[in-house]
Chains A and B, each alone.
Chain A
């Protein structure tokens, strides 16, 4: 378990991955920076995204991550920005707290600011944990599929590889080495059996909500359809996957 992750989000200071990156990142609070580092595509929703606050963006990515069967591109810049903001707010609270002359009104503001910090922290934690859950569930699939690597942060990828290795080591030492050699494989295609490396089920249906009028998409039966802005559809994940990565739909 990467216990240090948990600690990172508990205390708003210091840490190896997101926080360090966020610190080295330019101070980008005043101008938009593409968060989807996975694609490098132009932000299609530039206008709408500008109206969304960082926290609302995180909520959207969190809900997407919770509802999508596959692991989505990580939002490191966004997380870094929010963690910075949390740290700033926490520092301000500490300063105000230390001031013995603060009025009741001040206490009241402090309480509200702290409440909000806790709300943001909750979503950040849940987001990271959701990703962690998928990483551990699909660790061996991730370790062997380079296309997925760019969707993960460095810390996440390291963890996935280490976890996959540990699990394989454990399987080998606990059971497999005592079996006949032809039964020791951890990656075998057996007819009529599910694959031995669990992979995300992209056929699983999801509820997609169109944020803009979407380009046509192909349904499993081969027909084409278009989602109007605001429409909600239940459809297999692979149908809307590219729209989701472009930010044209959100999962609800």
Chain B
């Protein structure tokens, strides 16, 4: 079939990772390279030890070959995450996180734990934040109605996680409320 059944319901986490890998990160190169034209733009030149911005996929590729150090984004450190965790556990709303933080954090924890300060602590904090946010999105399910549900500050991975259940839930609610008082809703578009 043109699209395997496992891909039909929604985007998969590895695909989200691929999307997130287009984001730029700063690296400290350990090898030099001339400025090179890529499809998404020209990157370089790499001149150790001058910092340089490259897409995350390139950074992790270089990192795996031990040809650079990745400078973690400003939000991927213990202080920032600790602060966000406090917000998550004390405030009812979702705290502001980068839209693709889960994907970026996973890639960096996988390929460049030695470029992070205290990666174990970061991992634990991310997990705690995830759980706190997950609990909130489950609570949000009670606010589901057939019209609209505003999800402030939800990240891509979290949306993907709640997608099947929320979409199904809302579809059922739509079916239940679909009495034609103002005509078929399809006509309004």
Contacts and interface: CB of A to CB of B under 8 A. Distances in A.
Interface in A201-252: 202-207, 218-223, 225, 231-236, 238-239, 241-242, 252
B3 interface: yes
A54 B163 CA distance: 28
B146 A221 contact: yes
Nearest to A231: B150
A117 interface: yes
Interface residues of A, number: 55
A97 interface: no
B32 A203 contact: no
Given A115-B61, A204-B167, A56 B40 contact: yes
B189 A233 contact: no
B93 interface: no
B124 to A, nearest CB: 27
A221 B65 CA distance: 56
Interface stretch (A9-17, A32-40, A126-134, A172-180): A126-134
Contacts of A59: 19, 22
B135 interface: no
B142 interface: no
A202 B33 CA distance: 50
Given A55-B40, A82-B39, A117-B39, A235 B2 contact: no
A205 B34 contact: no
Interface stretch (B73-81, B82-90, B103-111, B152-160): B152-160
A148 interface: no
Given A59-B19, A109-B33, A129 B10 contact: no
A235 B149 contact: yes
Name the residue among A54, A223, A232 with the largest chain B CB count within 10 angstroms.
A232
B41 interface: yes
A239 B186 CA distance: 9
A67 B10 contact: yes
Given A89-B39, A129-B3, A234 B166 contact: yes
A203 B3 contact: no
Contacts of A108: 31, 33, 67
A197 interface: no
A117 B146 CA distance: 42
B91 interface: no
Given A205-B166, A232-B154, A132 B2 contact: yes
25 contacts: A55-B40, A56-B40, A59-B19, A67-B11, A89-B38, A89-B39, A112-B38, A115-B58, A116-B38, A116-B57, A116-B58, A119-B21, A130-B3, A133-B2, A203-B171, A204-B171, A219-B147, A231-B152, A232-B159, A233-B148, A234-B151, A236-B146, A236-B174, A238-B186, A252-B159
A105 B32 contact: yes
B149 A234 contact: yes
A226 to B, nearest CB: 11
Interface residues of B, number: 49
Q: Which of B31, B38, B159 lies at the interface centre, i.e. has the most chain A CB atoms within 10 A of its CB? A: B38
Nearest to A236: B174
B188 interface: yes
B151 A112 contact: no
Interface in A108-148: 108-109, 111-113, 115-117, 119-120, 122-123, 126, 129-130, 132-133, 136
Given A108-B31, A133-B8, A218 B39 contact: no
Contacts of B186: 202-203, 238
A202 B189 CA distance: 10
Given A105-B31, A112-B61, A203-B171, A252 B156 contact: yes
Contacts of B6: none
A66 B148 contact: no
